[in-house]
């Protein structure tokens, strides 16, 4: 990015453009002025030639000479011109060829006038006065042009200083914001101008930075809380597993005590494995999921087939609309429905009623999972989505399933809610049909 002085560039550009325009104007005026003066001189010379022809040779011609001299025209006989005219075949009388015989000789304009007796008179006029007049004009124009350029430069400097004053305000605001005044905004009076759009974009950028900072702080706090909770949750199964293994190794108990300790170690290992998998799944949520067309009805139907095989005593129904496709990550969305259905199975003891519905509604797809279990108290319906929260510690799980499910829903620009239900629990997954 070119970071040279904007004021200097504007001033220099204006100076160059104005100089080019002025030079072109001065050149045109000077050429037109010279052409006008030469045309007038030629007209005077032609009129003088006509007067000489009318006067004829002798005393009348001598009487014209002083008057012509006052007009800057001299007259004398020219034998060279006579021979030249004779060679070209010009007529000895008349003025039909007079104007065509005007020619230049150094700084003189010369008109060869043929008298009635054949004498050729040369009328001459100097162009020196024209050169002096043009030189004087150029001098005056140069002085005026220089003064005009100087005045224009001063005006441009003042104008650019005034025009660029809003940029100074942006610089000052940036410095103050960097110094800690994060609430400062430019608040442009108009946003339909170049500077107005710049100020509006600046305010939008600062707002976005504030939002990013707030999100980073919230994420940092959540990370610290998550690490503390994870450490606590990992400590219990690891301690229990370590105690069981140490007892087995140290005491070598007989059965059935040995069988009890081995079963406890297996349960703790399994619990620890599930917890680690859930923690890894929660960490993977920070990555951006894939976005492909995904049919929720197909996912729900495949899940229910597997669940029915695992819990043949449970009554499970599926009521779904056609074309319940959303843009999302198939594995992540399957994880949400799997968690909801597994929670319903746990709540009903694998013997209750579980209803799954997949509906299209107002540009969204809704997946509802309800059961006839004990339900969830109203005051706990939001708390269950927090990490490591378990309403019944005696039930299996670590309190991460619903937290992960809601996080996935939010990543898909949707939501997961626990709704009021007169009988049992009811969960609804909201997903937009468009990404």
Structural domains in the chain, CATH included, are: 6-158 (no CATH), 181-284 (1.10.287.130), 290-432 (3.30.565.10)
Q: What angle do the packed helices 401-411 and 330-348 form, to 10 degrees?
A: 150
Q: What angle do the packed helices 194-251 and 165-178 form, to 10 degrees?
A: 20
Per-residue pLDDT, 268: 76
Per-residue pLDDT, 52: 79
Pairing type for strands 415-419 and 426-432 reads antiparallel
Helix, strand, coil percentages (3-state) for the chain, rounded to 5, are 60, 15, 25
Per-residue pLDDT, 222: 65
With a cut of 70, list the residues of the chain below it in pLDDT: 1-4, 6, 57-61, 77-101, 116-118, 219, 222-223, 225-227, 229-230, 232-233, 236, 278-279, 281-289, 390-399, 435
Q: Please state, as a whole number, how many other Cβ atoms lie within 10 Å of the Cβ of residue 270.
A: 12
Positions of E strands within 44-96: 73-77
Per-residue pLDDT, 317: 92
Secondary structure of residue 334 in the 3-state scheme: helix
Per-residue pLDDT, 92: 40
Tell me the whole-structure pTM to 2 decimals: 0.47
Per-residue pLDDT, 68: 79
- Chain-centroid distance of CA 13 in Å reads 26
Where b means 16+ CB within 10 Å and e means fewer, 371-403 reads bbbebbeeeebeebbebbbeeeeeeebbbbbbb
Per-residue pLDDT, 390: 65
Average pLDDT value over all residues in the chain: 80
User: What's the Cα-to-Cα distance from 340 to each of 150, 164, 332, rounded to whole Å?
Assistant: 81, 61, 13
């Amino acid at each position: 990015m070119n970071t040279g002085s904007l004021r200097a560039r504007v001033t220099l550009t204006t100076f160059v453009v104005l100089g080019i325009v002025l030079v072109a104007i001065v050149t045109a005026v000077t050429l037109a002025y010279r052409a006008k003066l030469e045309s007038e001189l030629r007209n005077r010379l032609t009129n003088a030639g006509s007067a000489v022809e009318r006067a004829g040779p002798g005393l009348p011609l001598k009487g014209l000479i002083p008057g012509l001299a006052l007009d800057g025209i001299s007259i004398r006989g020219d034998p060279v011109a006579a021979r030249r005219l004779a060679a070209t075949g010009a007529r000895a009388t008349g003025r039909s060829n007079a104007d065509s015989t005007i020619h230049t000789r150094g700084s003189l304009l010369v008109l060869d006038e043929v008298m009635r007796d054949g004498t050729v008179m040369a009328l001459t006029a100097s162009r020196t006065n024209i050169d002096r007049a043009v030189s004087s004009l150029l001098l005056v124009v140069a002085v005026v042009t220089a003064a005009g350029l100087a005045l224009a430069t001063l005006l441009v400097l003042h104008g650019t200083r005034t025009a660029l004053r809003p940029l100074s305000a942006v610089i000052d605001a940036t410095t103050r914001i960097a110094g800690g005044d994060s609430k400062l905004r430019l608040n442009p009076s108009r946003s339909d101008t170049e500077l107005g759009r710049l100020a509006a974009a600046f305010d939008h950028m600062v707002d976005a930075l504030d939002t990013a900072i707030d999100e980073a702080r919230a994420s940092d706090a959540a990370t610290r809380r998550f690490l503390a909770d994870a450490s606590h949750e990992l400590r219990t199964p690891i301690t229990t597993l370590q105690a069981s293994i140490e007892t087995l190794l140290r005491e070598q108990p007989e059965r059935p005590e040995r069988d009890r300790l081995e079963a406890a170690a297996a349960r703790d290992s399994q619990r620890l494995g599930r917890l680690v998998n859930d923690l890894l799944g929660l960490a993977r949520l920070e990555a951006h999921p894939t976005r492909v067309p995904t049919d929720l009805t197909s996912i729900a139907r495949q899940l229910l087939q597997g669940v029915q095989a695992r819990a043949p005593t449970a009554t499970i129904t599926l009521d779904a609309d056609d074309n319940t496709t959303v843009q999302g990550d198939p594995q992540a969305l399957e994880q949400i429905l799997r968690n909801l259905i597994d929670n319903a199975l746990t709540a009903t003891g694998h013997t209750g009623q579980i209803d799954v519905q997949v509906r299209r509604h107002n540009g969204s797809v809704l997946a509802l999972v309800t059961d006839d279990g004990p339900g969830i108290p109203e005051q706990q319906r939001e708390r269950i989505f927090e990490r490591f929260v378990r309403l019944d510690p005696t039930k299996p799980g670590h309190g991460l399933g619903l937290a992960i499910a809601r996080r996935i829903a939010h990543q898909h620009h949707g939501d997961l809610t626990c709704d009021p239900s007169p009988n049992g629990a009811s969960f609804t997954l909201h997903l937009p049909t468009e990404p």
